[in-house]
């Protein structure tokens, strides 16, 4: 069934063509006040401007030709102000829509906006031998939701984890392990990654007293880049311990990847990039290092090779995107979900990639997330005052068991995810457990609870042998509520969230829908609704379906009991 928006767009185009106003691009919006209808358009005003006509007169003609056709979709069409047109959808449309949701089920809300296109969604990307931070958790949660939104919108999505498994820090790690570490103790340790991180912290403390340590570290990284077996052995050990820890976290979070092409994968692919940069005259040597300078100093210079010859994070990113385009096609869409503190870096990167002719800027998207703070400020690995993420996840699960121990994991992890997704990702978050798990506020548990309430009504109906009306014809008995209005809007909310890479639109929507349904439930007896029970059950099942589809897009589970 076509959405009201699609139908209205077609109706408007037809009416405009009748008035010989072709190719008008207009807005079609939901007015904030119900009195102004379900949709409002400025089409007549735009067309009048083009044709130098009176907008109100043109609107009148357009409305007239629309009304002549007696569309089932519309109840009423009105002109407002200087020439806006307001549309009121019919009861029949809303009721048909509710039945459609039941028919389309899990597919309700899908679109084809990405049809035929490949999108690489790169997210999570933690660093080896360092803690998986709250920032990586945010990236994992937001990136996973974006990947889901894009697949739901027709893209063929590849989920990539760009592990930080290469770079000068491995030089430091090797020096620290050789000077103060013990490989047997590492292997036996309860938390080997913590053992490695402690060594890394020690390295920084010692290097303040003894600067030659930094030189040793650089030398070890150069050896690693040259393929020295001992350097590689230690590096590999770090990778294995970290990967084992990450795997546990991903399992707990229910997040998976199609590939994990970490930075090390591009180790042998950077030479070509450096060559191209030089051949195209884009990079210049400066004090031994190789830098890209931007016109009018638009951005600070972008270093692609250090003076000791070592490559950088940036060199690996260039090689990564070159590889992506070569492997997945010239118009692949590439989305990086990485902390907002790297915004300038990504602007520089996209600019350089465009200059190199790898991609057009419209193909490159950086979705940055803000910082998450517990009350005492940002966390840093170097100082060692890290909060271990596994502890946070376990605490969420344990706190959620106060609702219902059987679904503690679904609710606890869901609550953490929702808390990260409910606001624009670039905003900072102050983390407060009571908000995260608040059953009365805009939280994951509240949405899940509403879903459980709807499914429990449906279960009780079954026990009472009450059946759902698949169709409802006695429209005069019905009052169309906020619930029907919201259900109709789900597909466009999903589309907006996908095109803006902004899962928070889905959260805002789910919260509105949950509130509307809970209000409906308080005012409209469902099981004892007499003749209306069948329709009310149909509506309840549509609400349950849409809540579930929305939760799935957010990477959350929808338990049937809470």
**In sequence order, what are the beta bridge partners of 468?**
none
Gap between the Cα atoms of 389 and 194, Å rounded: 12
Q: Which C-beta is closer to ligand ARG: that of 127 or that of 315?
A: 127
In the bound complex, what is the minimum distance in angstroms from residue 139's beta carbon to ligand ARG? Answer: 8
Gap between the Cα atoms of 141 and 425, Å rounded: 10
Q: Which C-beta is closer to ligand ARG: that of 144 or that of 317?
A: 317
What Å distances lie between residue 187 and 63, 182, 196, 199, 367, CA to CA? 77, 9, 11, 14, 37
Q: Which C-beta is closer to ligand ARG: that of 118 or that of 552?
A: 118
Please name which of 244, 221, 241 lies closest in space to residue 306, comparing C-alpha atoms: 221
Binding to ligand ARG in span 78-137, by CB under 6 A: 122, 125, 127
Binding to ligand ARG in span 186-225, by CB under 6 A: none
DSSP, residue by residue, 97-134: HHHHHHHHGGGTT---TTTT-EEEEE----BTTS---H
Q: Residue 317 interacts with ligand ARG (CB under 6 A)?
A: yes
Which of 114, 131, 164, 534 is close enough to bind ligand ARG by CB under 6 A? 164
Joined tokens for residue 140: 């994992």
Q: Which C-beta is closer to ligand ARG: that of 147 or that of 480?
A: 147
Q: Which C-beta is closer to ligand ARG: that of 324 or that of 536?
A: 324
Which of 5, 148, 159, 162 is close enough to bind ligand ARG by CB under 6 A? 162
Gap between the Cα atoms of 532 and 526, Å rounded: 8
CB of 541 closer than 8 Å to CB of 468:
yes
CB of 417 closer than 8 Å to CB of 137:
no
Q: Which C-beta is closer to ligand ARG: that of 154 or that of 384?
A: 384
Q: Residue 348 interacts with ligand ARG (CB under 6 A)?
A: no
Backbone φ and ψ for 303, nearest 5 degrees, come out as -80, 135
Joined tokens for residue 94: 């809303």
Strands, E, within 169-307: which ranges?
Answer: 283-286, 289-292, 302-305
Q: Which C-beta is closer to ligand ARG: that of 338 or that of 400?
A: 338
**Residue 286: strand, helix, or coil:** strand
Q: Residue 540 interacts with ligand ARG (CB under 6 A)?
A: no
Q: Residue 548 interacts with ligand ARG (CB under 6 A)?
A: no
Joined tokens for residue 405: 């121990």
In the bound complex, what is the minimum distance in angstroms from residue 94's beta carbon to ligand ARG? Answer: 45
Q: Residue 140 interacts with ligand ARG (CB under 6 A)?
A: no
Q: Which C-beta is closer to ligand ARG: that of 122 or that of 484?
A: 122
Specify the pairing of strand 302-305 against strand 84-89: unpaired
In the bound complex, what is the minimum distance in angstroms from residue 368's beta carbon to ligand ARG? Answer: 11
Q: Residue 353 interacts with ligand ARG (CB under 6 A)?
A: no
Please name which of 138, 257, 125 lies closest in space to residue 504, comparing C-alpha atoms: 138
Helix (H) or strand (E) holding 203: helix 192-209
Which of 90, 140, 168, 336 is close enough to bind ligand ARG by CB under 6 A? 336
Q: Which C-beta is closer to ligand ARG: that of 162 or that of 548?
A: 162
Q: Which C-beta is closer to ligand ARG: that of 246 or that of 449?
A: 246
Q: Residue 303 interacts with ligand ARG (CB under 6 A)?
A: no
Q: Residue 315 interacts with ligand ARG (CB under 6 A)?
A: no
In the bound complex, what is the minimum distance in angstroms from residue 498's beta carbon to ligand ARG? Answer: 21
In the bound complex, what is the minimum distance in angstroms from residue 345's beta carbon to ligand ARG? Answer: 8
Binding to ligand ARG in span 386-425, by CB under 6 A: none
Q: Residue 364 interacts with ligand ARG (CB under 6 A)?
A: no
Q: Which C-beta is closer to ligand ARG: that of 336 or that of 469?
A: 336
Q: Residue 144 interacts with ligand ARG (CB under 6 A)?
A: no
Q: Residue 503 interacts with ligand ARG (CB under 6 A)?
A: no
In the bound complex, what is the minimum distance in angstroms from residue 367's beta carbon to ligand ARG? Answer: 11
Q: Which C-beta is closer to ligand ARG: that of 131 or that of 559?
A: 131
In the bound complex, what is the minimum distance in angstroms from residue 336's beta carbon to ligand ARG? Answer: 5
294 Cβ partners below 8 Å, 6+ apart? 301, 302, 348, 351
Specify the pairing of strand 333-337 against strand 302-305: unpaired
* Burial tier of 134 (Cβ tally within 10 Å: 0-12, 13-18, 19+): buried
Which of 85, 261, 304, 338 is close enough to bind ligand ARG by CB under 6 A? 338
Residue in the shown chain whose Cβ atom is closest to ligand ARG: 164
Q: Residue 168 interacts with ligand ARG (CB under 6 A)?
A: no
In Å, how far from its chain's centre is CA 379?
24
Q: Which C-beta is closer to ligand ARG: that of 367 or that of 480?
A: 367
In the bound complex, what is the minimum distance in angstroms from residue 549's beta carbon to ligand ARG? Answer: 30
In the bound complex, what is the minimum distance in angstroms from residue 307's beta carbon to ligand ARG? Answer: 22
Q: Can you give the three-state secondary structure of 11-70, one letter per residue?
A: HHHHHHHHCCCCCCCCCEECCCCHHHCCEEECHHHHHHHHHCCCHHHHHHHHHHHHHHCC
Residues that bind ligand ARG (CB under 6 A): 122, 125, 127, 162, 164, 317, 336, 338
């Amino acid at each position: 069934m076509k959405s009201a928006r699609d139908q209205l767009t077609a109706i408007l185009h037809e009416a405009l063509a009748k008035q010989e106003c072709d190719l008008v691009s207009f807005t079609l919006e939901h007015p904030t006040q119900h009195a102004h209808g379900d949709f409002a358009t400025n089409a007549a005003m735009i067309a009048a401007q083009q044709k130098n006509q009176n907008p109100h007169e043109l609107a009148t003609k357009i409305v007239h030709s629309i009304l002549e056709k007696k569309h089932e979709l519309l109840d009423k069409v009105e002109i407002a102000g200087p020439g806006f047109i307001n549309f009121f959808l019919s009861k029949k449309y809303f009721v048909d829509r509710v039945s459609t949701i039941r028919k389309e089920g899990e597919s309700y809300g899908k679109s084809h906006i990405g049809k035929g296109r490949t999108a690489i969604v790169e997210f999570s990307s933690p660093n080896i031998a360092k803690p998986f931070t709250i920032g990586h958790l945010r990236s994992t949660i937001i990136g996973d939701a974006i990947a889901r939104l894009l697949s739901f919108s027709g893209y063929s999505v590849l989920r990539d984890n760009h592990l930080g498994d290469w770079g000068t820090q491995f030089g430091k790690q090797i020096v620290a392990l050789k000077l103060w570490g013990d490989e047997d103790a590492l292997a036996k340790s309860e938390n080997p990654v913590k053992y490695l991180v402690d060594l890394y912290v020690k390295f920084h403390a010692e290097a303040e007293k003894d600067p030659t340590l930094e030189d040793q570290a650089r030398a070890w990284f150069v050896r690693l880049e040259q393929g020295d077996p001992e350097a590689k052995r230690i590096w590999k050990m770090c990778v294995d311990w970290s990967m084992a820890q990450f795997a546990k976290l991903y399992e707990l979070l229910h997040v998976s990847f199609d590939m994990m092409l970490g930075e090390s994968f591009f180790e042998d692919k950077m030479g070509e990039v450096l060559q191209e940069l030089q051949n195209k005259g884009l990079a210049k040597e400066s004090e031994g290092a190789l830098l890209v300078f931007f016109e009018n100093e638009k951005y600070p210079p972008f270093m692609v090779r250090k003076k000791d010859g070592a490559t950088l994070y940036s060199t690996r990113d260039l090689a990564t995107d070159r590889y992506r385009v070569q492997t997945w096609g010239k118009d692949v869409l590439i989305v990086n979900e990485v902390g907002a503190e790297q915004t300038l870096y990504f602007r520089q990167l996209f600019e350089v990639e465009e200059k190199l002719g790898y991609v057009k800027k419209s193909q490159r998207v950086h979705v940055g997330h803000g910082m998450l703070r517990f009350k005492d400020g940002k966390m840093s690995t170097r100082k060692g005052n890290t909060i271990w993420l596994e502890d946070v996840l376990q605490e969420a699960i344990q706190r959620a068991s106060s609702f219902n121990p059987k679904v503690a994991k679904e609710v606890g992890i869901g609550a953490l995810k929702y808390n990260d997704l409910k606001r624009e990702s670039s905003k900072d978050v102050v983390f407060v457990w009571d908000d995260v798990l608040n059953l009365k506020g805009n939280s994951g548990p509240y949405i899940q609870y509403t879903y459980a309430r709807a499914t429990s009504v449906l279960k009780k109906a079954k026990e009472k042998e009450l059946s759902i009306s698949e169709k409802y014809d006695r429209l005069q008995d019905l009052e169309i509520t906020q619930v029907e209005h919201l259900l109709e809007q789900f597909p466009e909310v999903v589309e907006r969230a996908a095109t803006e890479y902004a899962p928070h639109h889905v959260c805002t929507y789910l919260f509105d829908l949950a509130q509307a349904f809970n209000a409906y439930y308080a005012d409209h007896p469902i099981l004892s609704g007499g003749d209306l029970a069948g329709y009310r059950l149909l509506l309840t099942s549509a609400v349950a379906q849409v809540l579930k589809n929305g939760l799935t897009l957010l990477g959350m589970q929808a338990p049937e009991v809470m």
